[in-house]
Structure 1
Amino acid sequence: MRIDLAGWTREATLGDHQAFLSLFERADRLGFDGVWFAEFHFRERLPYPSTLLLAAALFARTERLRIGTSVLVLPLHHPLALAEQLAQLDFQSAGRLDIGIGRGTDPETFAVLGIDHGTARERFEAAFGVLRAALSQGKASAADGPWRFSDVPVGPPPVQQPHPPLYVAGSTAETLRFAVAQDLPLLLSLEPPEARQLAIYRDELARAGRTGALAGSSLSRYVCIGATRAEAVARVDDLLPRLHRRRLAFAAARGIAPSGVPALDREAVLRDQVIHGDPEACHAAIIRLREATGIGALRCVFNGNGVLDNTAALAGMELFAAEVLPALRRAEAARPATVC
């Protein structure tokens, strides 16, 4: 099972640039498979609006770590220019780039760029068609003339799969239906957890008579690991109030009073959003999660999506890498080969 990192977004990216890069150099040496970064534009203080520039810096300082975008907001980009940049970055990294895409949900970013947010889905699907063709078979180029919404390729995806790999993020029935139609693996959300997304996705698979791409899809969990169960419980007890305070802050920014924000349901959060316990318990939980969902990749959030500092996150990463990763690798090696 692929084990990646996530959670370094928004305020979690603040601080010294070299220390930030060093954190992922350490993750590379620890044996994590990849890390995912989000695209946010026109936010005060945030230092990395371009995930591709950040990825380029990290590729130059790591040897095996994959880097993914979660997500590139396709309607904000010209797909031919984006395809060219992605192809270059994939070449520079010797094939270590993963591309997560989405249509974008922040109307303010669209407004700054003079793009009608109401066209987001149309622009997303059109841009995807051009991007996929350019990356997979080189059929789209500037010589073909300007791309248009009417340029969306019809029919099934090409036999030759895109390189680098493409993933799609989204929770609506329309986006999940699009993922089924295009045979795209999913980047499933952490908040809210993925149960609703998977239910819709499986319904769409059944309706289309398709097998889907769940084995290549990725889901996410907070990770609270301790050398003992008591240490892990203490980490959970530290994390959950911080998550609630962040929910209150986000709600206040939208004009919602604290009384309008329900308290976190501890049992539900631990069940649906957190891997927690000593190393043995964390390993067992990941195996159960894989068996229950059929998903082949996990994005581990050791920093609470920024509510914990990097020192605490790194301590969890190091314990996980020393105790859980080797057990997962052994379990993976012992699994019987499957015929696709």
Structure 2
Amino acid sequence: MRFGIFLVTGRFAGQDDAAALRRSAEAVVAAERAGFDDVWLAEHHFMPYGVCPSATTFAGHALGRTSRIEVGTAVSVLSTVHPIALAEQCALLTTVSGGRFRLGVGRGGPWLELEVFGTGTARYDHGFAEGLDLLLTAMTEDRAGAAGEHFSFREVPMVPRVPGIRPPVVACGSPDSQAVRLAARRGLPMLLGLHADDEEKARTVAAYRALAGTGGAEPAGGHVSTVLCQVADDPEQALRQVRAALPGWLGPGLDAHVPVDGRQRGKRDPVAYTERLCAIHPVGSPADCVARLREGIRRTGISHVIMLVEATGAPESTLANIERIGAEVLPALRG
């Protein structure tokens, strides 16, 4: 089993962006000290939901401040970056870190960055498969070129070349999503998000296995499941901590997702969403969290779990949460 933390780097009420970034940077160091296996960094643009605009840049900083823990992106948005540039960054970070970097990619959403960065809705709507295949070629071959609908350029050598680089993890939503089909047919591991409960994650894994046609064998590296984890002395205390802070972040954060072309988007009530997250994820005493995580691993079949540990937003509380999970939850799970 593997256990990591997941950092969205949200701007909570009363904070500025620098405070949020410092909180996450210190959380990386605390996670290594607490015995976690890895840390995964999100990226967002133009919104308080997450104030890290480059997960690979933040990963470079995190790798420089640590010596053992692995660092991944959850995720680098493939719809707003050139696959060749992302492959180069992945090779660079893998090399200088001694293999501690892990790339995660996703399609992202139809948000304003498609306009700002010039990649456009056509590539978001129809180009994810082409971009993913180009990324895989650039990560695994000595040279890469393209003559497709969204990418066209002469063949170039891939430098630095890193033989045996680990395949990317692909963010996947519902069991019938395009991302699940693409990941399964290319043998790539999935990253399953906070919104899904254990039953939905289990259905997604089952759909992946059916599409992959591998008889149930897992892809190299294995799938990754994201949960929210908040530890306190008792369940009520943990719930109070999350309820006091999470809606104030989720409300303005989720509202800041602006579609680039006026298309409709679903909206979540921040209080209701907070209650759902508390209901489906490990929020409670150490014993409660151990039991809930064990059950999630059993039901989903995914033994690599990464935990959102910033649910209170406060730096001191975040670091204390990481320390308690490392001291009181991880040993019981591993034992």
TM range (shorter): 0.7 to 0.9
Cα separation, partners in 2 of 1:16 and 1:300, compared to 1, 3 Å: closer
- SS at structure 2 position matched to 1:105: coil
Matched, 1:264 2:272: yes
Q: Deviations over 1:25-84 (max 9, x none)?
A: 222122111111112234589763222221111211101111111111112222222212
| Equivalent position amino acid for 1:289 in 2 | G
Q: How many residues are matched? A: 311
Give the secondary structure class of the aligned counterpart of 1:284: helix
Contact residue 90 and residue 164 of structure 1 kept, 8 A? no
Counterpart of 1:244, as a letter, is P
Matching of residues 164-179 of structure 1 within 5 Å:
164-172=166-174, 173-179=177-183
| Per-residue deviation, residues 225-247 of structure 1 (Å, max 9, x unmatched) | 12x32xx4212123135333444
1:71 corresponds to 2:78: no
1:318 is paired with a residue whose SS is: helix
Computed over aligned residues only, the root mean square deviation of the Cα atoms, in angstroms, reads 3.3
SS of residue paired to 2:166: coil
Q: TM-score scaled to structure 2, two decimals?
A: 0.80
Equivalent position of 2:324 in the other structure: 319
Of 23, 45, 53, which aligns to 1:49?
53
Structure 1 alignment gaps of length 5 or more: 153-160, 331-340
Residues 1:283 and 2:301 are matched in the alignment: no
What corresponds to 1:202 in structure 2?
Answer: 206
TM-superposed deviation, 1:261: 3.5
> 1:35: which partner in 2?
39
Which runs of no fewer than 5 residues in structure 2 stay unpaired? 153-162, 259-263
Pick aligned residue for 1:223 from 221, 224, 229: 229
Match of 2:156 in 1: none
Cα distance in 2 between the residues matched to 1:297 and 1:29: 19
Secondary structure of the residue that 1:169 maps to in structure 2?
Answer: strand
Closer, same or farther: CA 33–148 of 1 in aligned 2, 3 Å: same
- State whether residues 183 and 212 of structure 1, in contact with CA within 8 Å, keep that contact through their aligned partners in structure 2: no
1:118 shift after superposition: 3.1
The alpha carbon displacement at 1:188 in A equals: 0.6
Which residue does the alignment assign to 1:148? 148
Amino acid at match of 1:291: R
What does the per-residue CA deviation read over 1:197-226, in whole Å, with 9 as the maximum and x for residues that have no partner? 542442353255332537811112221212
Sequence identity (%): 27
Of 237, 243, 246, 1:243 maps to 246
How far residue 106 of structure 1 moved from its aligned partner, in angstroms, is 3.4
In structure 2, the partner of 1:26 is 30
Amino acid at match of 1:163: I
Q: Distance in 2 between matches of 1:185 and 1:75?
A: 19
TM-score between both structures, scaled by the size of structure 1: 0.79
The SS at the match of 1:220 is strand
TM-fit CA distance, 1:112: 1.0
